[in-house]
Amino acid sequence: MNNKYDIIIVGGGMVGATLACAMADSQLQIAVIEPNLPQAFDPEQTHDLRVSALNIASQNILENIGAWEGVSNRRSCVYRRLKTWELDEQRAATLFDCQQQGVDHLGYIVENRVIQLALLERMAQLSNIKLIHCETTDIDFNPGASIVELADGQQLLGKLLVGADGGNSAVRSAAGIGIHSWDYEQSALVISVLMDAPQQDITWQQFTPTGPLAFLPLSGNSASLVWYNTPAKIKALLALDEAEFLQQLLDNFPSALEKVDKVLAKAAFPLKRQHAQQYVLEGVALIGDAAHMIHPLAGQGVNIGLLDAAQLAQSIKAVVSENFASAEEYALIPKGDFSSLKTLQQYQQQRRNHNLLIMQLMDSFYRIFTNDLVPLKLLRNIGLGLAGKILPAKKKAMALAMGMEGPLPDLAKKY
């Protein structure tokens, strides 16, 4: 027996759940399929390894869909400054300060689990959204009438199928959408630590020829470090015992890093760039990592994914709102227009070029800062130093990092 929905979202992580919450006032019936629900939050737990740097646009989205309270009620860490440098932290660094932009902060560092829990909590309050905790076993994509089969035997029928199921998207494969992809010659080692220092409000990044070294503050005296390097080096680091690894941190991270008391956890993952050849077809749309995966050095992956979700919701609701004046009228009309190629292309036009720009910027940073030629190193440092002194360029860069540069869906704006 088929369960019929207007929209089936495969993937209830941060991006998929944001889309569902953003559709709360649409009257569309939505199913969200997520097999891996997060563990309940306990403030006594140590911080998770996976964290995100949410910029102001992402905060606005979460506030406007009613999920930010669930973040702030748990834990997060505000950051007001961002610093980047290569050779000389004192003379050739760029410091971005929220005061220069006339705002109170640049963003928040938040555990991914906390964000997802806040969104699922909000979803539970919405009558038009059903969360289905089950594995997807098969997807039969048909424009306007896709069937999703679940491990418990259920079959869901949906007019619009949304892939929010990550880089190995089953929705993307079922729709036959190709990708452009290549691996970076880097892995990222994420390290959760306890510091001998109070909570900080600055996130910083030092560029090195083998990849950046990054610091992200967390609440209390916790922090997250990211060590980018070759896969072989990262593998060797993971093989060290605790004392040896801590010594490697001291030897390799810059003096800007306060004393590390303890390494709580660490994990590595390979880096790749991936971009779907298109985000939409009739009856299907891709958002988040299903559509694009970028180098994480500027922390923009989740932010552009949330912009995807907000823009897709806006494009769909613009069509739906043109078609009804009341719930009674809405129930009588066909609702296929929101899944049409014409409607979905509005979303793609707003997001694909902007995402491609961010991806190309990250690629440029990767290529420029992994070249160890001495003349280029000097030019890089001169460039970083100048970037901190040319105010218009600095403000534009800050606006981009805050998510306030480029096409913005309404939900990314402060209401």
DSSP 370-408: T---HHHHHHHHHHHHHHTT-HHHHHHHHHHHTT-SS--
Outline where DSSP puts E strands in 11-66.
30-33, 51-55
The continuous run of DSSP H or E covering 14 comes out as helix 14-22
185: helix, strand or coil: strand
Global pTM reads 0.90
Which stretches does DSSP call E strand in 277-407? 280-281, 284-286, 292-293
Side-chain half-sphere CA neighbours of 294 within 13 A: 26
Q: What was the pLDDT predicted at 298?
A: 66
Q: What are the CA-CA distances from residue 289 to residues 34, 130, 248, 374 (Å)?
A: 15, 22, 32, 36
Q: How high is the pLDDT of residue 357?
A: 87
Q: DSSP character for 219? A: S
Backbone torsions φ then ψ of 200, nearest 5 degrees: -110, 165
- Residues 315-361 pLDDT 10s: 999 888 755 445 554 455 455 689 999 999 999 999 999 999 888 88
Residue 143 pLDDT:
94
* Cα(267)–Cα(51) distance, integer angstroms: 13
Q: How far apart are CA 233 and CA 31, in angstroms?
A: 43
Check: CB of residue 15 under 8 Å from CB of residue 306. Answer: yes
Using DSSP bridges, classify how beta strands 93-97 and 81-85 pair: parallel, antiparallel or unpaired.
Answer: antiparallel
Phi, psi torsion values for 253, nearest 5 degrees: -80, 150
Q: Please name the residues in contact with 145: beta carbons below 8 A apart, sequence gap of 6 or more.
A: 157, 158, 159, 283
* Ranges assigned E (strand) in 56-145: 77-79, 81-85, 93-97, 107-111, 129-132, 136-140
Q: Report helix, strand and coil shares of the chain as percent, to nearest 5.
A: 40, 30, 30
> Which CATH entry fits the domain spanning 2-412: 3.30.360.10, 3.50.50.60, 3.40.190.10, 3.40.640.10?
3.50.50.60
Which pLDDT does position 382 carry in this prediction?
A: 45
The C-alpha atoms of residue 14 and residue 109 are separated, in whole angstroms, by 14
Tens-digit pLDDT profile for the chain (415 aa)?
A: 459 999 999 999 999 999 999 999 898 999 999 999 999 999 999 999 999 999 999 999 999 999 999 999 999 999 999 998 887 676 668 888 988 878 899 999 999 999 999 999 999 999 999 999 999 999 999 999 999 999 999 999 999 999 999 999 999 999 999 999 988 889 999 999 999 989 999 999 998 888 899 999 999 999 999 999 999 999 999 999 999 999 999 999 999 999 999 999 999 999 999 999 999 999 999 999 999 998 887 678 899 999 999 999 999 998 887 554 455 544 554 556 899 999 999 999 999 999 998 888 877 766 665 655 444 444 444 444 444 454 565 566 666 666 666 679 999 998 6
